[in-house]
Amino acid sequence: MPCDLVRQLEAALASTSTIETHRHMTAVVSAIDRDDGYGNKVLDRAILELQARKPRAEVYSVIPKGDLIRPKKQQSP
């Protein structure tokens, strides 16, 4: 859902977030648990697309970590 995506981005890109660097990935991880609306407390992780040739930080993906309770699927009419 677009609303969930905006909340994930805001949490992951907050000023309290930390940066994780790995050989094949650079990410910004929220330091504060966020209630995802489904009964979970999650830490949001924004994966950045950084290349040596084009060093512009662009968000490639946002992943909520710790979501064990999934939303129920809605049936098509």
Rounded CA separation 45/19 (Å):
10
Q: Is residue 74 assigned to a domain?
A: no
- Residue-number span of the structural domain to which 40 is assigned: 2-65
pLDDT, one tens digit per residue, over 12-70 is: 999 999 999 888 888 999 999 999 888 899 999 999 987 777 777 789 899 999 888 87
- Does this model's pTM top 0.85? My answer is no
Q: Is residue 71 assigned to a domain?
A: no
Q: Is residue 73 assigned to a domain?
A: no
| Closest CA relative to residue 47, chosen from 68, 23, 29, 32 | 29
Q: Reduced to 3 states, what is the DSSP secondary structure of residue 9?
A: helix
User: How many domains in the chain?
Assistant: 1
Q: Do residues 21 and 29 make contact, with C-beta atoms less than 8 angstroms apart?
A: no
Q: Do residues 44 and 12 make contact, with C-beta atoms less than 8 angstroms apart?
A: yes
Query: What would the two tokens of residue 60 be?
Result: 């490639």
Q: Is residue 6 assigned to a domain?
A: yes
